[in-house]
């Protein structure tokens, strides 16, 4: 009994790391640009497919092909930004959120149907030499690929934080988040910062997609699920604090899987939403969000 609960919890945490990574991507974009890109899940889906086809066609290991997956997503991100999102840069904040949501919903339909036409509705997964392998600790199984997912997520998060903390460009991003007008007055090209942040978010979605592929599978309609989880996690962790967002992801994964053990399977999705509502009611700035400055 205890082992089964522990096993569930571990799987939940490992899944939660992927929620966290996806959410950090959407939070990065939202935090800087105030674009609420609800097509984030579709970008993640494209990352998964990129990784899948690189494996299928060129026999490239999904972990080793991560840089290629990222490049592919950066291209998509650039096109989407230059074609659509750039038009909303100058809107006031609230209109920006609303308009990007509308555009995002349109995009989800378009991107889903592109995937459906190109690659059919089949579930796609891959099997590598190490796919089933796991180590066991105290009777709990740790599949290698899922642990690798957690590690890679942490590496991405750490790299992002160091980038924001230490580099000039990273500081320019933080300055833009605080006060874009003051940022432009010190000579920061705010439009470049917006594009860069959008691309970082897109790249993170790509990495998350590849990790979802190796641990689970991908299909054209998976995006909305991941967007929803990302949004829940972003609210849970509090926007503007990526470590908090990531921990929020792990928390959601752990709660879902533990709850699934005690309540029937289909209600698993409800748990996250209930958590979401509770946070909104009792701690709207998020678990780790700063109250205000």
Partner 1 sequence: MLELEEINAFYGDLQALWGISMHVSEGELVALVGPNGAGKTTTLRIISGLLKPASGSLRFYGQDLGKESVHKIVEQGISQVPESGRIFTGMSVLENLELGAFTPNARKEKDKTLNWVYGIFPRLEERKSQRAGTLSGGERQMLAIGRALMSKPKLLMLDEPSFGLAPILVEQMFEMITEINRQGVTILLVEQNVRAALELAQRAYVIENGRIVGEGKGDDLLSFESIRSAYLA
Residue 184 CB, shortest distance to partner 1, in Å, is: 4
Under the criterion CB under 8 A, does residue 181 sit at the interface with partner 1? yes
Binding part of the chain for partner 1, among 136-144, 178-186, 221-229, 261-269 by CB under 8 A, reads 178-186
Residue 101 CB, shortest distance to partner 1, in Å, is: 25
Under the criterion CB under 8 A, does residue 293 sit at the interface with partner 1? yes
* Bridge partners, residue 137, by sequence: 140
Under the criterion CB under 8 A, does residue 86 sit at the interface with partner 1? no
Under the criterion CB under 8 A, does residue 281 sit at the interface with partner 1? no
CA distance 128 to 132: 8
Q: Which residue has the tokens 């967002």?
A: 245
Residue 202 CB, shortest distance to partner 1, in Å, is: 24
Judged by beta carbon, residue 113 or residue 169, the one nearer partner 1 is 169
Residue 233 CB, shortest distance to partner 1, in Å, is: 22
Binding part of the chain for partner 1, among 6-14, 126-134, 176-184, 273-281 by CB under 8 A, reads 176-184
Instruction: Check if the beta carbon of residue 236 is closer than 8 Å to that of residue 276.
Output: yes
Under the criterion CB under 8 A, does residue 179 sit at the interface with partner 1? yes
Under the criterion CB under 8 A, does residue 182 sit at the interface with partner 1? yes
Under the criterion CB under 8 A, does residue 287 sit at the interface with partner 1? no
Residue 292 CB, shortest distance to partner 1, in Å, is: 11
Residue 49 CB, shortest distance to partner 1, in Å, is: 38
Q: Which of residues 155-174 bind partner 1 (CB under 8 A)?
A: 168, 171-172, 174
Q: What are phi and psi of 128, to 5 degrees?
A: -105, 175
Contact pattern for partner 1 over residues 183 through 212, marking x by CB under 8 A: xxxxxxxx----------------------
Binding site for partner 1 (CB under 8 A): 168, 171-172, 174-175, 178-179, 181-190, 293
């Amino acid at each position: 009994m205890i082992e089964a609960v522990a096993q569930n919890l571990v799987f939940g945490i490992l899944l939660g790391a992927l929620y966290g990574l996806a959410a950090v991507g959407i939070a990065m974009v939202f935090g800087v640009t105030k674009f609420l890109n609800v097509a984030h899940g579709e970008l993640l889906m494209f990352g998964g497919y990129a990784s899948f086809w690189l494996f299928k066609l060129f026999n490239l290991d999904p972990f080793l092909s991560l840089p290629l997956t990222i490049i592919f997503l950066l291209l998509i991100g650039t096109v989407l930004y230059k074609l659509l999102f750039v038009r909303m840069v100058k809107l006031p904040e609230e209109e920006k959120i609303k308009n990007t949501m509308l555009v995002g919903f349109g995009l989800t339909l378009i991107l889903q149907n592109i995937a459906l036409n190109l690659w059919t509705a089949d579930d796609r997964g891959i099997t590598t030499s190490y796919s089933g392998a796991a180590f066991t600790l105290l009777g709990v199984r740790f599949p290698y690929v899922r642990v690798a997912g957690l590690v890679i997520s942490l590496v991405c998060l750490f790299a992002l934080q160091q980038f924001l903390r230490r580099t000039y460009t990273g500081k320019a991003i933080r300055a833009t988040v605080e006060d874009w007008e003051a940022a432009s007055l010190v000579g920061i090209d705010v439009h470049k910062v917006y594009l860069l942040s959008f691309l970082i978010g897109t790249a993170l979605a790509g990495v998350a997609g590849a990790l979802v592929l190796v641990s689970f599978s991908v299909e054209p309609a998976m995006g909305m699920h991941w967007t929803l989880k990302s949004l829940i996690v972003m609210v849970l962790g509090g926007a503007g604090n990526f470590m908090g967002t990531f921990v929020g992801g792990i928390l959601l994964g752990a709660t879902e899987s533990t709850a699934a053990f005690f309540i029937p399977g289909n209600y698993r999705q409800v748990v996250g939403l209930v958590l979401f509502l509770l946070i909104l009611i009792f701690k709207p700035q998020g678990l780790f969000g700063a109250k205000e400055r």
